[in-house]
């Protein structure tokens, strides 16, 4: 199951996000809060490892990693697809 808390744990590993993760709402734009392109790649790799999924090229965009809610929904769909 993809939970907000697991996503927050992964975000805490990102230097730019670590100090603010607990105060973020699930719909706040992570890029506006300090996530950059390098950080989004690190986030993607950590999500792939943790949830044993692979982001297809069509999801390698800023929107896919823009909020905790979108990350949770995207990884959830990828997880369901991997289980099928």
d(CA 11, CA 30): 10
Please give the Cα distance from 54 to 40 (Å, whole number).
14
Q: Among 40, 38, 45, which Cα is nearest to 29's?
A: 40
- Length of the chain equals 84
Residue 56 is encoded by which pair of tokens?
């297809």
pLDDT in tens, 31-44: 999 999 999 999 99
Q: So what's the pLDDT on residue 83?
A: 55
pLDDT at residue number 13 = 93
What is the per-residue pLDDT across 21-30, written as a single tens digit (0 to 9) for each?
Answer: 999 999 999 9
Is 51 a residue whose pLDDT tops 70?
yes
What is the structure's pLDDT at 10? 96
Q: Report how far apart the first and last C-alpha atoms of the chain are (Å, whole number).
A: 15
């Amino acid at each position: 199951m993809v939970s907000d808390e697991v996503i927050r744990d992964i975000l805490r590993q990102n230097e730019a996000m670590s100090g603010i993760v607990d105060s973020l709402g699930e719909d706040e734009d992570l890029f506006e809060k300090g996530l950059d392109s390098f950080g989004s790649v690190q986030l993607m790799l950590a999500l792939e490892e943790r949830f044993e999924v692979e982001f297809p090229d069509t999801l390698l965009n800023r929107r896919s990693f823009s909020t905790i809610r979108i990350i949770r929904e995207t990884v959830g769909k990828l997880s369901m697809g991997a289980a099928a």
